[in-house]
Each structure stands twice: as structure tokens, then as C-alpha cells.
Structure 1
């Protein structure tokens, strides 16, 4: 069965809108951007914008979902690997993660270093929590476990935010090595705590 043909004009227009939106966030800030600003920057008219997006929040939401979906692809479920105490999975997962961050550095840098940083950081932390807890039968309800999880993902997002500001100054492999050494044992301890709590 033939796949539907991709309309390259639509792809090109949406890319222009998204690139213009990110540029404007950096120069004007999210709250001060208007649809007309985006249209002018992308060299389209307002009606063309509305053919693709409902409004500015819709554009922001779709951008975030699009890039979070990229992380879903690069970060496989790894609960079983953690429980088998195989540290190599962490290096592989982090390598995949940082390659995505590097490829889409403009988006992640904009989201993590401008005035919308706090909301996107929370969005990213929630996503990492879901990945860490994937494969578990029940979510943890123990306060100590919840605090440990929050502490862990906050540290990971903080490290990503630090790297994303000046990625050219840091070796990805060195960054991954440090994060892997820190987070593998943290995740392993967390999974053990959850499993131990669930059988009590």
C-alpha cells in the first residue's frame, strides 16, 4: 500500500513558522509575540498561519509534543535493564538523548534558557519521570520515593540546561560519562526502593 504523498509546501511552511516562532521567543519573549509577528518573520500572511495552527498556544503545544516525541523514540523502556543491573543501557540512552538535544539545540536552548524555562522544565521532568517509571505495575505512593524521583529528574534536567547553554564547550562523551555514573546507581536504588515498598 502506497504511503500518502507528503506536500513539501506544507512542510516548508510549518518549518518557517516554527523557526520564526523560536527566533521571536529569543528576541521578544513569548508573551509579547503576536500572530502578525510570526507571519511577518516567516514571510507568510496571517491566514496561512491559521491554516496550520489555531493560535500561539497551539503552536507552542505542538512544538513541545513534537520534540518530546523525539525523546520517546531515542529513550527506550529500560526498567528491565536497570533491574538486571546492566549499566551499559544508561550510556546508550544518554547518548541517544544528547544526540537529539544536539540536533534540535535551537528548540531546547530556547525552551530552557528563556522566560518559558520553568514551564518547559516541568514538562520535561514529568516526561523523564514517566520513562523512569515505565514498566512498573503501580506508581510509587511512598513520600521518600517521590522525593528521590523528583530530586533525580530535577538534577538531570538541570544538567541538560547547563549543557544546552554552551554545547560547543563541552564534550558529549564526557557529559554522558558523568551523568551515567551518577544516575545509573540513583535509578537502580530508586527501582529497588519501589520494588521493596511494593512487596511490604
Structure 2
């Protein structure tokens, strides 16, 4: 109960965000292993006593920050990804469903954190958590689009893993290049290549 009250307290939220932002900046500059709690509190302009009111150590800060961001992403996707979804991109490739756009929009809101946490080798928890979210996301899409296994060209789980890995790599590429395209453009292109592949005309004959 007290944890829930803390989350509703704007002062606590502000403090946690300052610490999280400091953590992200320092990881980006130095790498996770090199930074200390003292480094984090100095960057956040807070004292160590305040830090320890919220977190046990820097690993706890990392874990909780990762969980909060991933939970936010799951919650936002689940709100928009329901059984009534219509895959308009199958009819009009220039208008992907809002759910796919929303995925990229959510990531862009915390782009620096996603970029740092997905590319830092010492944060496997975040990468694996993000991977599982995308696997569920892709699985829901394929299940809705084609529930009949007999009408898929490969085993369902193979297709899900293939596209989930591709989605994640595209997201990392987008972030590493400072998001050169809009969320809508990314969603449109990703769905286009998922449904039709990269070729305008089949290169291997009819």
C-alpha cells in the first residue's frame, strides 16, 4: 500500500526521474560498471541519503527503472491492441494501424533510455524484457491476422521469433541513428516489409 502511495506522490516521482535520468546519462558516458551511487547522486543534484530512501544500490535503481519503462510500454500497447483491431495496413500500406505507430511513439518518448539500455552490454535484463514484449506483440498480430497454422508458410513460433528479432534490430538501428524517421514512417515501413518483403518485384521469377 505504501509503495502505491509513493508512486502517486509527485515529489517521489520527480526524485526517481532525476535519479533515473542521471543513471542513463552516466551509463551513456562511462558504462554501467564504472559509475557509483555517488556519481549518480551528484549528477541528479541529490544527496546519498535521498538515494537510499528509494533504492538499495545502483543495481536496484537499474532494475526498477527498467521495469517501470517496460511496464509502461506493455500497458500502452495492451490498451491499443485489442480484439477489435483492424489491420488497415493490409489494405493501405501508407496507413498502418495506430497500435504500430504507438509502439514507436512510446519508445521515442524515452529514446535516450531505450538507446542506452538496449545497447549497453551490462544490461541484459532490459534487452531480454524488451525482446519478450516484442515477441508477444508480434505473436498477437500474427494470431489475429492468420489464426490457422495450415495457412502459414513456416511454423508459427518460427515466424514470431523471426519477425520479433527483426523488429528489435530495426528499433535499435532507429535509436542509434537518432530517430531519422518519424514513428509513423517506421511503423509503415516495418509492416510493409513484414507483409510483402523488401522487393517491389519478386527477384526470383514467378
The two structures have a TM-score, normalised by structure 2, of 0.72
Which has the larger share of helix?
A: 1
Aligned to 2:172: 161
**Structure 2 unaligned regions, length at least 5:** 144-148, 198-206
Aligned to 1:145: 156
Q: Per the alignment, in what secondary structure is the counterpart of residue 46 of structure 2?
A: coil
**Structure 1 unaligned regions, length at least 5:** 187-200
Task: Say which of 28, 34, 37 aligns to 2:36.
Answer: 34
Q: Does 1:181 align with 2:192?
A: yes
Equivalent residue pairs, number? 178
Between the aligned partners of 1:90 and 1:116, the Cα distance in structure 2 is 35
Task: Say which of 72, 75, 78 aligns to 2:77.
Answer: 75
Between the aligned partners of 2:138 and 2:109, the Cα distance in structure 1 is 23
CA RMSD of aligned residues (A): 3.2
Q: Summarize the alignment of residues 18-33 of structure 1 with structure 2, pairs less than 5 Å apart.
A: 18-33=20-35
Q: Per the alignment, in what secondary structure is the counterpart of residue 75 of structure 1?
A: helix
Between the aligned partners of 2:103 and 2:156, the Cα distance in structure 1 is 25
Aligned to 2:107: 101
Between the aligned partners of 1:37 and 1:170, the Cα distance in structure 2 is 34
Aligned to 1:58: 60
With over 3 angstroms needed to count, the CA separation of the structure-2 counterparts of 1:105 and 1:151, relative to structure 1, is same
Q: Deviations over 1:112-133 (max 9, x none)?
A: 2333465533221112223444
Aligned to 1:48: 50
- Please, which moves more after superposition, 114-123 or 90-99? 114-123
Task: Say which of 181, 187, 204 aligns to 1:170.
Answer: 181
With over 3 angstroms needed to count, the CA separation of the structure-2 counterparts of 1:66 and 1:18, relative to structure 1, is same
The two structures have a TM-score, normalised by structure 1, of 0.73
With over 3 angstroms needed to count, the CA separation of the structure-2 counterparts of 1:171 and 1:43, relative to structure 1, is closer
